[in-house]
Amino acid sequence: MVKFNEALLDRTFAALSDPTRRALLARLSKCELSVSELAEPFAMSLPAVMKHLDVLSTAGLITRSKNGRTVACRLSAKPMEEAMAWLDRYQRFWTESLDRLAAFVEEDEAPRARKPAARVAALSAPHPRKSSASARKRRDS
């Protein structure tokens, strides 16, 4: 069984839970960008963007480098690789479970498919109403 670093996974998924941080990562997927370039399309202050970048950096999803006064950000793949490996394990589990369920349902449907007319007739036949005791007394009087 593969052991995963729980703290790293927690930080990764917590960082990915915010739509602004996912948008920042999407912008970085194209190329390295400065903090100012990253902040450009967002309707928030530069300090707010910096806080989001701090969360991404703490999770290890981005790295920052400083050249003079410019801070550049780039993606870091390792945390995402671990998260994908964790998700892949569960995807295999659910795929196998759902495949078994589908096979079971198809197997269960096979006998019904052999006698569709009889089953439809039985299901569509009118069912007599059960009368209550008070209704029978009124009828008998």
pLDDT over 80 (residue 50): yes
- Rounded to an integer, the average pLDDT of 40-56 is 94
Q: What is the pLDDT of residue 138?
A: 55
For 64-121, the pLDDT digits (tens) are 999 999 999 999 988 888 888 888 887 877 788 788 888 888 876 666 555 555 555 5
92 or 136: whose pLDDT is higher? 92
Domain ranges of the chain: 6-79
Q: What is the pLDDT of residue 68?
A: 93
pTM above 0.85, yes or no: no
**What is the rounded distance in angstroms from the CA atom of residue 57 to the CA atom of residue 63?**
6
Q: Count H helices, E strands: the chain?
A: 7, 3
- Rounded to an integer, the average pLDDT of 13-26 is 94
H-helix or E-strand containing 85?
A: helix 78-114
CATH of 6-79, one of 3.40.190.10, 3.30.70.270, 3.30.870.10, 1.10.10.10: 1.10.10.10
**What is the rounded distance in angstroms from the CA atom of residue 47 to the CA atom of residue 106?**
57
